[in-house]
Amino acid sequence: MDFAFTEEERMVQEMARDFAQNEIAPTVEKDEKEHLFRREIVKKMAELGFFGCIAPEEYGGNNMGYLAATIITMEVAKESPSYGLPFNLQMNSIQSVLLEFGTEEQRKKWIPPLISAELLGCFALTEPDVGSDVASMKTTAKEVSDGWIINGTKMWISGIPVADVGIVFAMTDREKRHRGMSAFIVDMHSPGVTQRAIEDKLGLHCAPTGEIVFEEVKVPKDAIVGKPGDGFKIAMYMLDRTRLSCAARAAGVAEKCFELAKQYANERVQFGVPIIQHQMIQDQLARMWCEHEAAKLLVFKAAWILDQIRLKRTSERPTLHISTAKYYSAEAAVFAANEAMKIYGSYGYSAEYPIERYYRDAKSYQTVEGTSNIQKIIIARHFIEQQK
Ligand SMILES: Cc1cc2nc3c(=O)[nH]c(=O)nc-3n(C[C@H](O)[C@H](O)[C@H](O)COP(=O)(O)OP(=O)(O)OC[C@H]3O[C@@H](n4cnc5c(N)ncnc54)[C@H](O)[C@@H]3O)c2cc1C
């Protein structure tokens, strides 16, 4: 039985599982080997309402909430970590930012086509020389009489080179460090925007990742989200939502690795018995079980807290719970993939079996949306602040 799921949540989970197993799984191995991103899969996800969970109906959403979104994300990531990414690009990043900080015009213009996947989204913080220390970013936005001019380079951006719209962070007053950062909603087909794919990465081959160069890109006055200088606050708000989605993907991968390893251990016979009869294999499986169960519960708790905030039932800050879930799930995914590799023996090392794919994909969770070190810093800072 699932922990505290309502009937509706159970139905959503089944629907997402069916979709992932029937629409993604049959081609995923081949597509990953060919580095093929299928826009039509994202469109089908949109048709099922997958990207409408956090938006009200007036913008085309279904308002099911963050918990429902994490349940769906987890099921999709279990079959394909690559197709877990669009949840962040279509929903948790741009939509959450516009719903909290955007104008009514911005919401009406951008949220419906992101929910329907008519437009593909991205969010751009990272730069070639700037990762964890986002306040050092070099991209600038200069105010002119009729808009803003953006210059700079963003690196490792998910959804590039296929993005149509993005939340782009840039310095509007570098002297002020993080208080001089601003957020812009940018049409990624604007003159001066160049998107280039990073072809050779370890995993997530069906999920495009790339570099964006902004050369004298003119955006209108109303492209700014919030006020000049709000960018850092907006980025932190957004990361609390995108990290949750990342944690859900990681917990899904941890669960999938456990399921595959358990099945293999029951089938593989060595020394005359299925290897699951060997105590050391039982120890590995028991630890994988505990880790992925703990990860899932932390993700569901963090999602539930975000829903309470969304529905204004609490003003509690979610950051501690989100970073805890993100850190734990990322480590659980890598642990589970590593243990599954060992249980599969040589076959784990073979590209004929899915374990090596999960092993490669799982590593991304320790880096994206803030590294494991950065999550531990956020968690520890919470305790330090409590002592003051
Ligand atoms: C597949 C993929 C998709 C991505 N998608 C996006 C995206 O859509 N948008 C986006 O903006 N970015 C994206 N990123 C970038 C990602 O968020 C950054 O890579 C991440 O924030 C880390 O930055 P960095 O790689 O520059 O590492 P660095 O910040 O250079 O860190 C290097 C190492 O130093 C450690 N470190 C740094 N500072 C400290 C400290 N103070 N204390 C202790 N240790 C520290 C880190 O933990 C890490 O181990 C993506 C990355 C990947 C791999």
Residues 280-312 have pLDDT tens digits of 999 999 999 999 999 999 999 999 999 999 998
Give yes or no: residues 241 and 300 share one domain: yes
Q: Are residues 57 and 101 in the same domain?
A: yes
Q: What is the pLDDT of residue 2?
A: 53
Mean pLDDT over each residue of the chain, to the nearest integer: 96
Looking at the structure, do residues 248 and 164 belong to the same domain, yes or no?
no
Closest C-alpha to ligand 1, atom 16 = 368
Final residue of a structural domain among 164, 196, 228? 228
Judgement on whether residues 146 and 49 belong to the same structural domain of the protein: no
pLDDT for residue 161: 98
- The atom number, within ligand 1, closest to the CA of 374 reads 47
Residue 2 lies in a domain: no
**Residue range(s) defining the domain that contains residue 346:** 232-387
Catalytic residue set:
369
One domain for residues 224 and 241: no
Same domain, yes or no, for 333 and 246?
Answer: yes
Q: Do 171 and 307 lie in a common domain?
A: no
pLDDT digits (tens, 9 = 90+) for 326-374: 999 999 999 999 999 999 999 999 999 999 999 999 999 999 999 999 9
Nearest alpha carbon to residue 150 among 134, 168, 136: 168
CA 370 / ligand 1 centre spacing (Å): 6
Residue 1 lies in a domain: no
Question: How many domains is the chain built from?
Answer: 3
Q: What is the CATH number for 111? A: 1.10.540.10
Task: Please state the rounded mean pLDDT for residues 43-68.
Answer: 97
Same domain, 217 and 321: no
Digit-coded pLDDT (tens) for 141-184? 999 999 999 999 999 999 999 999 999 999 999 999 899 999 99
| E strand or H helix that includes residue 295 | helix 279-310
- Whether the CB of 364 sits within 6 Å of ligand 1: yes
- Tens of pLDDT, residue by residue over 61-106, are 999 999 999 999 999 999 999 999 999 999 999 999 999 999 999 9
Residues 362, 302, single domain; the answer is yes
DSSP string, 239-275: HHHHHHHHHHHHHHHHHHHHHHHHHHHHH-EETTEEG
Kindly state whether residues 209 and 252 are assigned to the same domain. Answer: no
- Shared-domain flag, residues 43 and 174: no
Query: 238 and 380, same structural domain?
Result: yes
Q: List, in order, residues 6 or more apart from 26 with CB less than 8 Å away.
A: none
